Amino acid sequence: MRPFIAGNWKMNHTPSSGKKFAEELVPRIKSLGADIVIFPPFVAIPSLYEVTKGTSLKIGAQDFYWEEKGAFTGEISAEMLKEAGAEYAIIGHSERRNIFGESDELVNLKLKTAVDSGLKPVLCIGEKLAERESGRTKDKIKFQLDAGLSGVSTEKVIIAYEPIWAIGTGKTATPQQAEEIHCFISEYLDERVKILYGGSVKPANAYQLMTQSHIDGVLVGGASLKIDSFYDIIRNGIKAFEEKN
Ligand code: PGA
């Protein structure tokens, strides 16, 4: 098993700064035993693809719309993203759900489209602080899995467990807290699905998190924007996997 390390750039990096990042990263990760994916803003996908095509660095989109085409001003389809070079797509990130009001029904439609169109989906789920504090974490997770995955074969789906209270806050779930939920998800789905942890992952905590047996990798926001910290997370993930395999 190899760690799966993903960088979610959110609304950061332009086509040119993203391309420069990829040009530097590709030779550094060339012979490393990890699956590495970057999720740049839509407009940077083609320029990153230009330098990553045929290399071990893969590209994904942070979102898309589920319809094939038509009058949906401002939206982008799975086919368009695939043609631009995206192989993966994040679906249902908590920022999409909370800032842009995406519902579980919409998340489910996107998952179905991703699977049908061959875009590999990374489904994000996670509880808010109030839900954790009132002991409702597992209910929330169950609800999001049921709603998001309804009618979808989980075979090709990657799950990212991202407790909302840990995203961009510097407050990471402890490896034990994360492992407990990862274990719960894998038992609940009753299938060997890849489960990533996300929420304030940095070089300093990546190793401990990835030594946990149900943590298959990480989805990194802030710490993926600088090449050195992203590279350190990759190295720490590889080290953790060498030890637990
Ligand atoms: P963060 O973001 O690493 O900056 O907390 C993670 C995410 O939102 O995927």
Tokens describing residue 133: 């504090």
Return the best residue to mutate from 123, 129, 162 for the ligand 1 pocket (most ligand atoms within 8 A of CB).
162
- Whether the per-residue pLDDT at 192 is higher than 90: the answer is no
Render pLDDT for 95-118 as a digit per residue (tens, 0 to 9). 999 999 999 999 999 999 999 999
Tokens describing residue 66: 């589920």
Q: How many residues comprise the chain? A: 245
Decide whether any atom of ligand 1 lies within 6 Å of the 125 Cβ: no
DSSP state of 156: G
Alpha-carbon gap, residue 150 to 18, rounded angstroms: 35
Please state the rounded mean pLDDT for residues 135-147.
Answer: 97
Active site residue 180: no
Q: Which amino acid does the sequence have at 135?
A: G
Active site residue 162: yes
The per-residue pLDDT for 76 is: 98
The pLDDT confidence band at residue 143, using thresholds 50, 70 and 90, is very high
Terminal C-alpha separation, the chain = 7
Q: Residue 200 C-alpha to ligand 1 middle, in angstroms? A: 6
Q: How far is CA 144 from CA 19, 105, 138, 163, in A?
A: 35, 10, 10, 13
Tokens describing residue 168: 């961009």
From 192, 64, 173, 189, select the one nearest 121 (Cα to Cα).
64
Match 């699956």 to its residue by tokens: 35
Average pLDDT taken over every residue of the chain: 96
Please state the rounded mean pLDDT for residues 40-60.
Answer: 97
- Whether the per-residue pLDDT at 191 is higher than 90: the answer is no
So where are the chain's domains?
4-244
Decide whether any atom of ligand 1 lies within 6 Å of the 224 Cβ: no
Q: Which atom of ligand 1 is nearest to the CA of 166?
A: 5
The per-residue pLDDT for 18 is: 98
Specify the CATH architecture of the domain 4-244.
Alpha-Beta Barrel (3.20)
Tokens describing residue 43: 């407009």
* Catalytic residue from among 93, 102, 127, 131: 93
Decide whether any atom of ligand 1 lies within 6 Å of the 167 Cβ: yes
* Catalytic residue from among 95, 127, 131, 162: 162
Judged by DSSP in three states, 160 sits in strand
223 C-beta neighbours (distance < 10 Å), count:
20
From 206, 226, 141, select the one nearest 180 (Cα to Cα).
141
The per-residue pLDDT for 110 is: 98
DSSP string, 174-237: PHHHHHHHHHHHHHHHTS--EEEEESS--HHHHHHHHTSTT--EEEESGGGSSHHHHHHHHHHH
Radius of gyration from C-alpha coordinates of the chain: 17
Please state the rounded mean pLDDT for residues 8-16.
Answer: 98
Q: Which phi and psi angles does 196 have, rounded to 5°?
A: -100, 150
